[in-house]
Amino acid sequence: MSVFLDTADSVPAGVNHSRNYLAHLLFFICFCTLFEGYDVLILNLALPHLGREFGASAETLSYAVGLISVGTMVAFALVRLADRYGRRAVFLGAVAGYTLFTMLTACSTGVYDFVAYQFVARMFMVTEIGVGAIILTEEMPHRYRGAAVTLVFALGLAGGIAGSLLYPYIVETALGWRTLYIAGGAVFPVLAIYWKRLRETRRWQLDQQHNRQPRVSFLAGYREIVKVFHSKYRARLLVGTSIWFALNAWSASCLFFFTYYVTNERGWSAAQVSTTLTFGYMFAIVGYLMAGPMLELAGRRITVSLYFAVGAVSAITCFLSESTQIITVSYMVVLGMQALWAIAATITSEIFPTELRGTGNAVVNNLLGRTGMVLAPGMIGVLSVWLGSVGQAVAVMALVPLFCIPVILLLLKETKGKTLEEIA
């Protein structure tokens, strides 16, 4: 971890945090994101059991996942508050919120309240990820920004590994899939410890000092959103939205429907699913470990384009194949390409100036980009009826990232090796 703790940067002298604080900061955000990875996986694992317990069809479950994903768009309102009230308050509130509603999901008695609990949990979860990436982007030295954000998302895989290991044992217990959500409460003790230790970011504090203005009303504050659509930021807005839309559509399709696909269309057992996901998430760490150095060596444009291309091809292969071996290997590659979440967070946390960083991220990620996650499950539901297969429907949705690559190569300016002040 010490590789991230060189505190030299271009921010004004006297405001750098100690290496010890940066180590604690990195650990805390990593731990919180670990449970985000866990929560995404257990929705994938729970779908077949929800269908049987609540009598829901594949089409109904597709729409349910789509409604849950609307929560990621509502997070727009919370993420942009990080520019108004600070990164610390919004981050801590989001962690507490997603932990509480993850546990409440275990109390679901039907599809409707399951969707309601997960809707709110996903809203807070995406807020935590977005603001956590902003905190690291602003606090870490510029040459380690990409690696630090990538490390956080990579450790999120540990949550996926834990969930996949527990899955075959938990589904046989009296509470079944509900136990997966109860376990999410493990975040609360660590949150209590770090509640007072987490500090506001240096750059946000400096920006507030240099731009002292009377605090306007809550609704009037939304006028700041218009600034993101100014011609100066139009290219950044388009490329940021394109990246997040493609990533959300591709990832939601691949992650949420894999267990349903192999269980119902390929006849896999719970043990086979568990084994594949466990080794898949372990192997996926390679994708994350490669992403950090690639961001710093090859640059943002080449890295995100390559990961999108490999992710699309591997997903299509996985969801069209009938071979257990090919499905397993190709899905392992799909999981490795999930490092795109870290890559996208790094890019869009850099391209907007400090005073608009929270709002800019909220617009391109939550308000616009997350429509991919909302629309993809519904599209899969429609396509699965038309094509007669969930697997074929996912393969069609996996094409979306390929259309994003030209936009990236044309509009995204390289930010490798630059300070945030130089980029702005």
Which tokens hold the place of 181?
């959500």
Range 302-326 burial, b when 16+ CB lie within 10 A, else e: bbbbbbbebbbbbbbbbbbbeeeee
- The per-residue pLDDT for 46 is 78
Distance in angstroms (rounded) separating the CA atoms of residues 145 and 134: 10
- The per-residue pLDDT for 241 is 95
DSSP 8-class letter at 230 = S
Angle between helical axes of 145-170 and 340-350 (0-180°, round to 10): 140
Which tokens hold the place of 109?
């008695």
What the chain holds in terms of domains, given with CATH numbers, is 19-209+227-423 (1.20.1250.20)
- The per-residue pLDDT for 9 is 44
pLDDT tens by residue, the chain, 424 residues? 444 444 434 444 344 567 788 888 888 998 888 877 777 777 777 777 788 888 888 778 878 887 888 887 788 778 778 878 888 999 999 999 999 999 999 888 888 989 999 999 989 988 898 888 888 888 877 777 777 777 777 777 777 777 777 777 776 777 777 888 888 888 899 999 999 888 888 888 887 777 655 555 555 556 667 778 888 888 999 999 999 999 999 998 998 889 889 998 999 987 888 888 878 877 778 888 888 889 888 999 999 999 999 999 999 999 999 999 999 999 999 999 988 988 998 898 888 887 777 788 778 987 898 889 888 888 998 899 899 999 999 999 999 999 999 999 999 988 887 777 666 6
Distance in angstroms (rounded) separating the CA atoms of residues 379 and 387: 12
Angle between helical axes of 234-264 and 19-54 (0-180°, round to 10): 50
Say if CB 369 and CB 243 are below 8 A apart. yes
DSSP 125-142: HHHHHHHHHHHHHHHS-G
- The per-residue pLDDT for 109 is 87
Name the residue with tokens 């950044």.
236
Which tokens hold the place of 369?
């980009």
Distance in angstroms (rounded) separating the CA atoms of residues 84 and 233: 20
> CB atoms < 10 A from the CB of 165, how many?
15
Which tokens hold the place of 172?
């046989």
- The per-residue pLDDT for 16 is 58
Name the residue with tokens 């568990």.
274
Continuous segment of H or E residues that includes residue 380: helix 371-387
Burial degree of 80 (CB within 10 A; 0-12, 13-18, 19+)? buried
